[in-house]
Amino acid sequence: MSRSIWIALLAASVAAALGIACTPAKDAWSDDPRPIVTTWRSKCALCHTRVEPGTRTPEKLHEALGRHHVRVHLSDAEWVELEAFLGNKAPAAPPSASPPSP
């Protein structure tokens, strides 16, 4: 093979590897349709590392979210929903999901 073909193959391999590496990983909330999940993804982590649900005590969440009221503009209902969402260790089933069978 000619040198230019090898270079083209190498460049294509590097581009493919970078594309795979830059694809965001799916997490437990990737398919969750609730608006609060979108809010969490878009607002949390703009200034710090995003806090994952279930990783803070309710007391720490309440304290931290209270400090964020000045910078982050959410409705009172969104603050309550965000605190409840972050306090969960596992995602709640989307509203359309069937309950688990016994």
Q: Please indicate whether residue 98 or residue 51 has the higher confidence score (pLDDT).
A: 51
What pLDDT does residue 14 have?
A: 66
The answer to whether residue 14 is domain-embedded is no
What pLDDT does residue 17 have?
A: 63
Contacts of 69 (CB under 8 A, 6+ apart): 79
Does the structure show a pLDDT above 70 at 92?
no
Whole-model pTM over 0.75: no
In 3D space, the residue among 48, 31, 44, 29 whose CA is nearest the CA of residue 78 turns out to be 44
Give the confidence band of 63 by pLDDT, cuts at 50, 70, 90.
very high
The domain total for the chain is 1
The answer to whether residue 100 is domain-embedded is no
* Boundaries of domain holding 87: 35-91
Least confident window among 7-11, 18-22, 29-33, 44-48 = 18-22
The answer to whether residue 29 is domain-embedded is no
